[in-house]
Homo-oligomer: A and B are copies of this chain.
Amino acid sequence: MAHETSTVMEPARRLVVIGGAEDRSGECVILRAFLRRATPVGGDAHIVVIPIASDSPKRTGGDYVETFRRLGAGASEVLHLQSREEARAPRSIEMLERATGVFLTGGDQQRIMSMLGGTKLDTLLHHRWEQGMVLAGTSAGATAMSSTMLMEHSPEADPLEGPVWTGPGMEFLQGAVIDQHFGERKRLGRLLSVVARFPHELGIGIDEDTGLLVDDHTFEVIGHGTVTVIDGGSAAFYDRPGRGTAHVRPAFCDIRLHVLPAGHRFDLVERRPIVEAVRIQVED
């Protein structure tokens, strides 16, 4: 695969992870932040919109292309995929080679995985991203970015017993499960269920019109709402010694929760908010 035509950008491994329903008519804080990140020094942003999650991809793709043009993208085009075969078509490959930013729309995250997963386009997407191309996704497009992906229509479950449906995602963001439309659809219980089952994963719940600017293993919150991080890392399951019957269930205790509005940062590896040191002024 030849990448000599690609614009190499720094720093690499950057994501814009959006909780859905981001502003597209007003200030467009989140989409503008994506465009800024996708603009190479001394060059223009070249945005490719991939609307495969959507059940009306023509309209969804067209709307976003129009929005990015209006916001000042140098180029903005749609990559339509009707089949897995198209994901290895030269036209698709060439389009992605030119992109400085790729945007995954909302819809059903499983459609993203079944249409794109394992294709040449999937491989190239990762390669270009490692080189500096910025990947953004909203709603289903956000959920699909993590290694472990919440399935669409996962039920709100009993945190300790109910079924939680996860599957492998696109693996751009490791060690985290992303949920979106978070406050609006009251999904804290659902995400807590995932973390109780898989405490290795940080649960990241993103409100509508809210996003994460991810740089490697840290992120900063932008937009209107809040991001909720659920950390089961230092949590413990307690059995009750001495009362063991078949019906005794363990308690899941000391889960940590962080609620972060715009401007706040989080370290996904250290699993903690990044609190800037307060500079102590010494008079002399």
Interface of A toward B, CB cutoff 8 Å: 156, 158-160, 183, 186-189, 192, 196, 207, 225-226, 228, 230, 238, 240-243, 247-264, 272-273, 275-276, 278-279
When the two chains form their complex, are residues B240 and A276 in contact, meaning their CB atoms are under 8 A apart? yes
Which residue of chain B has its CB nearest to the CB of A247? Answer: B262
When the two chains form their complex, are residues B262 and A258 in contact, meaning their CB atoms are under 8 A apart? no
Given known A183-B158, A264-B238, A276-B241, contact A254–B256 (CB-CB < 8 A): yes
Which residue of chain B has its CB nearest to the CB of A244? Answer: B263
When the two chains form their complex, are residues B183 and A241 in contact, meaning their CB atoms are under 8 A apart? no
When the two chains form their complex, are residues B259 and A256 in contact, meaning their CB atoms are under 8 A apart? no
CA distance A238 to B241 in the complex (A): 39
Given known A158-B183, A276-B240, contact A251–B255 (CB-CB < 8 A): no
When the two chains form their complex, are residues B261 and A273 in contact, meaning their CB atoms are under 8 A apart? no
- Number of copies of this chain that the complex holds: 2
Across the interface, which residues of B come within 8 angstroms of A257, CB to CB?
A: 192, 230, 254-257
Q: Of the candidates B240, B259, B260, B276, which one forms a contact with A192 in the assembled complex, judged by CB atoms under 8 Å apart?
A: B259
Which residue of chain B has its CB nearest to the CB of A228? Answer: B159
Q: Of the candidates B156, B247, B255, which one forms a contact with A259 in the assembled complex, judged by CB atoms under 8 Å apart?
A: B255
- Extra contacts, 13 of them, besides A240-B276, A248-B263, A253-B272 (Cβ < 8 A), are A158-B207, A159-B183, A183-B189, A188-B188, A188-B189, A241-B279, A242-B279, A243-B263, A250-B261, A253-B259, A253-B273, A255-B257, A257-B257
Closest chain B CB from A108 CB (angstroms): 22
Q: Of the candidates B242, B256, B279, which one forms a contact with A256 in the assembled complex, judged by CB atoms under 8 Å apart?
A: B256
